Amino acid sequence: MKIAVIGATGMVGRTMMKVLEERNFPITEFLPAASERSIGKEVIFKGIPVKVVSVIEAVEARPEFAIFSAGASTSREWAPVFAKNGTVVIDNSSYWRMDKTIPLVVPEINSHVIKKGDRIIANPNCSTIQMVMVLAPLHRKYKIKRLVIATYQSVTGTGVKAVTQMENERSGIKGEMAYPHQIDKNCFPHGGTFQPDGYTTEEQKLLDETRKILEDQTIRVTATVVRIPVVGGHSEAVNIEFEKDFNIEDVIQLLNQFPGVVVYDNPAENKYPMPILAHNRDEVFVGRIRRDLSKDKCLNLWIVSDNIRKGAATNAVQIAEYMAANKLY
C-alpha cells in the first residue's frame, strides 16, 4: 500500500502524516510530495526521515492513494493525472467539491456515495464537516428546513502565515500580513473572498456543501463567517429550524449516539465546547443545546472542532480507510 501526501510540508499535510501514523494506516511506502522549493528536504514519518519528492515522481510511483492538501490550482492540475494513472485522489481543496460527478464525503454520514472506480473524492470544507456531523442525525429524524450560522474561525484555517501574523502582533513584531487587518485582540467578518451578492466564498461553501452532503437541496442556509484570534479550532453558533418538533432529551440522545460527536453541555458547571478543548482532538463537540424561544421547532447549538484534524486531515484519512477496508481503490 503506497500512500502519497501532496503538500506534505504544509500545516495540514504534516497533520495528515501524523494522523496516518496515529491510526496505523497500513503503509508499505510513504511518498511525501511538495512544491519545487521543498524537494529533497526531509520530513519525519514514523520516526524515520523521508525525502520530499516532486509531484511527478509521486505520480510515477503509482500509489494506491494520494491525499492532497496543496491548494485548488495544484488539485486542478494534478488530481486528474494521478486518477488517470489508477491512483485514488482524496482532495482537501475546494476545487472538486461541487462537481456533480465527484463524491463529497464525511465518512460517518455519506460514505455510501463512494463507488468502486471513483478516482477523485472531495474532502469538504472544515467548517462544513464539523457542522454536518451534528446536523446529520437531526436531519434524518426531524428534517431541517433552515439554518442560520455564525462561525468563529481559528487563524489556523488560513495557514502558517496567519498564525505567524497573530504571534508577531502579540510580541510587538512587525511582519508579513496574512490578513487585511490586525487579528490579535480583534475579529473580522471576512473568510474567503467577497462575492457580488455580499456573501463570502466561505459562507457559500456552508450552503452548497451542506446540501450536497445531506443530500437535500431544499435546506435554506444563511451564514456569517468570522475570523477570531485563536488556534485550537473553529466554533459555530447554529440555529436550526425543523419541519418536525423535537424534545431536547431526544436531541441529546441522538447526538450522543452519533460516532465522532461528543455532547459537552453542562452550563451549571461551565461545561461547553471551546477551541482549547477541541485542539489536537478528532471529536466534534456540541453544547449550549437549547430551544429557540422566539420560534417553534427551532434549536440552538454551539459546535466546536479542530479544523486541521477532523476538519481536514482526519476526515481525509478516514475516507482512505473506508475505501481500503471496502476494496474500493
Between the alpha carbon of residue 287 and those of residues 128, 261, 265, the distances in Å are 17, 11, 4
**Cβ atoms of 320 and 65 closer than 8 Å:** yes
Q: Of 126, 139, 279, 298, which is the active-site residue?
A: 126
The x, y and z cell numbers of residue 58, run together, are: 509521486
- Active-site residue 187, yes or no? no
CATH number of the domain that 282 lies in? 3.30.360.10
Does one domain contain both 70 and 170? Answer: no
Residue-number span of the structural domain to which 10 is assigned: 2-123+312-325
Please, is 218 exposed, middle or buried when counting C-beta atoms within 10 Å of its C-beta (0-12, 13-18, 19+)? Answer: exposed
What DSSP letter does each residue of 271-302 carry, written as one string? B---HHHHTT--PEEEEEEEE-TTSTTEEEEE
Does one domain contain both 227 and 90? Answer: no
Report pTM: 0.96
Does one domain contain both 101 and 152? Answer: no
In the chain, what percentage of residues exceed pLDDT 70?
100
Does one domain contain both 180 and 36? Answer: no
The pLDDT value given to residue 198: 98
Does one domain contain both 156 and 39? Answer: no
Sheet containing 2-6: which strands, arranged edge to edge? Answer: 29-33, 2-6, 65-68, 88-91, 120-122
The pLDDT value given to residue 32: 98
Residues 245-257 have pLDDT tens digits of 999 999 999 999 9
Radius of gyration of the chain (CA): 20
Rounded CA-CA distance 299/121 in Å is: 32
Q: What's the domain count of the chain?
A: 2
Rounded CA-CA distance 70/12 in Å is: 9
CATH number of the domain that 59 lies in? 3.40.50.720
The pLDDT value given to residue 31: 98
At residue 291 the predicted structure's pLDDT band, cuts being 50, 70 and 90, is very high
Does one domain contain both 199 and 158? Answer: yes
Residues 68-100 have pLDDT tens digits of 999 999 999 999 999 999 999 999 999 999 999
Does one domain contain both 112 and 168? Answer: no
Tell me the sheet residues that pair with 48. 45
Does one domain contain both 135 and 270? Answer: yes
The pLDDT value given to residue 200: 98
Residues 201-245 have pLDDT tens digits of 999 999 999 999 999 999 999 999 999 999 999 999 999 999 999
Q: State CA 284 to chain mean position distance.
A: 11
Does one domain contain both 161 and 297? Answer: yes
Does one domain contain both 132 and 193? Answer: yes
Please list the helix, strand and coil fractions of the chain in percent, rounded to the nearest 5, in that order.
35, 25, 40
The pLDDT value given to residue 182: 98
Does one domain contain both 231 and 135? Answer: yes
CA dihedral 10, 16, 17, 23 (to 10 degrees): 170
The pLDDT value given to residue 130: 98
Does one domain contain both 281 and 164? Answer: yes
- HSE toward the beta carbon, residue 144, CA cutoff 13 A: 27
- Active-site residue 234, yes or no? yes
Q: Of 139, 234, 279, 298, which is the active-site residue?
A: 234
In the chain, what percentage of residues exceed pLDDT 90?
100
Residues 120-140 have pLDDT tens digits of 999 999 999 999 999 999 999
